Amino acid sequence: MNRGQRNKRKTLYHEEPDLPVCEWPGCEGHGEFRAPKDRKLREYYKFCLDHVREYNKSWNYYEGMKAEDIENDVRRDTHWQRPTWRFGHIRGAKKPFNFKFSDGFGFFNEDGDPTHHGPGGDPAGDRRRKSEDAQRRAGAMGMPSEQQQAMATLDLPWPFSKDELKSKYKALSKKYHPDANGGDKVAEERFKKISAAYSSLMRYIRDLEARVST
């Protein structure tokens, strides 16, 4: 064997990789491909191409986890396992913005708080926020605080018409009238507040109409 042949054999020998044996039972192929042993992804099997494909078909990352744990893990993956905060809010800050927020789609109010919660959300909270927004807008237009509270009592939006006020009063008074509630004291007190709120807003509207006509 001449020198050139010896160098050729040496080069080929060093280029050949030392491949492990496939860990699939009974397989004598090369284990060129890794497959995770568990969801920690720290230890791996070594399989040939055919058997790594077979293993991947049956491997379940969430095997052994509870449904609620799977749901939480999927939710964390939606933001890449990183912490999140409510839109427009910074931890430690008292207010989300130092300016009024404008959202043409109506998903957020002017303070940056969400106004819609979707199915199964917080309807009572939605009504409270809508009432607060209506009072804020009414106050910006010069409505006194007494009438703003009356709007909240009747759950009226702003602006509202005289017909809308009458319609709202009629519906609420029918619902909370003592005769319709067997003399229930809570309903009676609610009815008194509704009547007082209606009278207050009607006076306010008449005063506005009088000032406009003069």
> DSSP assignment, residue 84?
-
Q: How confident is the model at residue 14 (pLDDT cuts 50, 70, 90)?
A: low
Query: Do 21 and 32 contact (CB within 8 A), yes or no?
Result: no
Q: pTM higher than 0.75, yes or no?
A: no
Half-sphere exposure of 30 (CA within 13 A, CB side): 5
Instruction: Find where tokens 């003592």 sit.
Output: 178
Structure tokens at 111: 């303070």
Q: How far is CA 121 from CA 156, 157, 198, in A?
A: 21, 21, 30
pLDDT tens digits, one per residue of 113-130: 666 544 444 555 566 666
Instruction: Find where tokens 């005289």 sit.
Output: 162
The Cα–Cα gap between 25 and 3 comes to 44
| Mean pLDDT of the region 100-121 | 57
Half-sphere exposure of 160 (CA within 13 A, CB side): 28
pLDDT tens digits, one per residue of 132-173: 666 565 555 567 888 888 888 888 877 778 888 999 999 998
Q: Which residues contact 88 (CB under 8 A, 6 or more apart)?
A: 96, 97, 101, 108, 112
The Cα–Cα gap between 151 and 197 comes to 7
